[in-house]
A and B are shown apart, each in its own frame.
Chain A
Amino acid sequence: MNSIKKLFRPLFSVLASLLLIAAPAFAQSPTPIFGNQSVSLSLTVNASVSLVCTPSAITFSYTGGVGTASSQISCTFSYNVPSGYTFIDWAAYLAGGPTSGLSGPTAIPTSNIFSSNDGNSPVPCTINLPSIFGSTTGVGCYTLVPASSNVSGTSGSQTHTFLLSVNQSNLAAGVYTGSLNVVADIQ
């Protein structure tokens, strides 16, 4: 019996080795085929700008010939643009025209309406609008058309504040209304 074992032992070893080598070849396809297909991805982000102002309207309390605004108006211009944009232009102006910045029982001219811009001393709203905003005379409370670049990077924001006041004595009783146009451009 032992002699038979000794005789077949090398044969088993050879068969086992052949099985180990050959088995994977039977277990899978002889030529592997891999799926390979590319899917192109494309994302377009359009340039955009936004302008947000708080609050959307103000009222005045009138005492002793002076009208004090209920709050300042804060406006933020945000941009997300490609390279090549370097100027941001601003204007805040009264839509009623020079003789009627506020309309009511008596028209209040823009020369009697003031704006403290970004916390600076009040200036009358009689600035002439720059030509990019139509060149209307005597209605601007604030304008900014820089001579050098005021844009940093391709995205960001700028904020300006406007605190309006009225200085006109003996106003007739009644309701006075007006509109402050805030316009901003990037180019």
Chain B
Amino acid sequence: MKAIRLVLFLMICSYPAIGQQVSPLTNECGSKKCSGEFTITNLGLTPLVVTVIAESFTPGPGGGISRSLDLTTHVELDATSARISPMGTYSFAYRVRCDQLPCQVRFRPSIVAGKTSEGVQVRLVLGHALYICERSKNCRMNTLKTAGVIQAKAK
């Protein structure tokens, strides 16, 4: 029994938990040009590499639709990857220009703990959503109402 516990302990130590935090969750802008940033925190005990991709999305009941970045949406990230020390943070700054409004962009930061020589490694993916409208005030809520998400929530 002690041997089993020791093996389990060693297994957990060899593949410790990984975790990330993203803040803030959303940003709202009121013009075709928008800039902002989001911060990733490494909640684990080992250094991690974060990679970020951008995608377009349309909110809707049932989660909406995510897709590759629209041709009318132009995204500049100051970095698409970063190495974050344990409990450290990194802020990704971005500039977005949309030829058409409204437009929505979601940044997907993902982390993985190194490389595994065998078996399955876990990659964690979260999101930072950007809502761009004619006016920034209540942009997210108005977009969700227009998409029928608010009504869907009321059911």
Interface residues of A (CB under 8 A from B): 46-60, 69-71, 73, 75, 81, 84, 86-87, 89, 95, 102, 130-135, 145, 147-149, 164, 175-187
For A73, the closest partner residue in chain B by CB is: B122
Give Cα distance in the complex from A151 to B3, angstroms: 42
**B67: shortest Cβ distance to chain A, in Å?**
8
CB–CB A52/B17 < 8 A: yes
Give Cα distance in the complex from A70 to B12, angstroms: 10
Residues of A with C-beta under 8 A to B22: 48-50
> In the complex where A183-B126, A187-B59, A187-B63 touch, is A56 in contact with B21 (Cβ < 8 A)?
no
CB–CB A181/B123 < 8 A: yes
CB–CB B117/A184 < 8 A: no
Residues of B with C-beta under 8 A to A48: 21-25
Interface status of B19 (Cβ within 8 A of chain A): yes
Residues of B with C-beta under 8 A to A185: 63, 126-127
Residues of A with C-beta under 8 A to B144: 187
Task: Please pick, from A47, A60, A135, A179, the residue contacting B25 in the complex, using a CB distance under 8 A.
Answer: A47
CB–CB A177/B62 < 8 A: no
Task: Please pick, from B18, B25, B63, the residue contacting A130 in the complex, using a CB distance under 8 A.
Answer: B63
CB–CB B124/A130 < 8 A: no
Taking A47-B26, A81-B25, A145-B62 as known contacts, 7 extra A-B pairs with beta carbons closer than 8 A to each other, sorted by chain A number, are A47-B23, A50-B43, A51-B124, A51-B125, A56-B15, A56-B44, A132-B57
> In the complex where A54-B17, A175-B117, A177-B118 touch, is A184 in contact with B126 (Cβ < 8 A)?
yes
> In the complex where A46-B23, A131-B62, A132-B63 touch, is A182 in contact with B123 (Cβ < 8 A)?
yes
Interface status of B96 (Cβ within 8 A of chain A): no
CB–CB A51/B20 < 8 A: yes
Interface residues of B (CB under 8 A from A): 8, 11-12, 15-26, 41, 43-44, 55, 57, 59, 62-67, 108, 110, 112-113, 116-127, 129, 141, 144, 149, 152-153, 155
For B144, the closest partner residue in chain A by CB is: A187
**B140: shortest Cβ distance to chain A, in Å?**
8
CB–CB A56/B66 < 8 A: no
Residues of B with C-beta under 8 A to A133: 63, 66
Task: Please pick, from B25, B108, B118, B152, the residue contacting A49 in the complex, using a CB distance under 8 A.
Answer: B25
Among A56, A135, A149, A176, the most chain B Cβ lie within 10 Å of the Cβ of A56
CB–CB B16/A55 < 8 A: yes
Give Cα distance in the complex from A59 to B63, angstroms: 33
CB–CB A47/B24 < 8 A: yes
CB–CB A182/B153 < 8 A: no
For B110, the closest partner residue in chain A by CB is: A181
Task: Please pick, from A58, A131, A135, the residue contacting B120 in the complex, using a CB distance under 8 A.
Answer: A58
Residues of B with C-beta under 8 A to A57: 15, 113, 116, 119-122
Q: List 15 A-B contacts (CB under 8 A).
A: A50-B21, A51-B19, A52-B18, A52-B19, A53-B122, A57-B122, A95-B123, A131-B62, A131-B66, A133-B66, A147-B62, A176-B119, A180-B123, A181-B125, A185-B63
Give Cα distance in the complex from A135 to B55, angstroms: 13
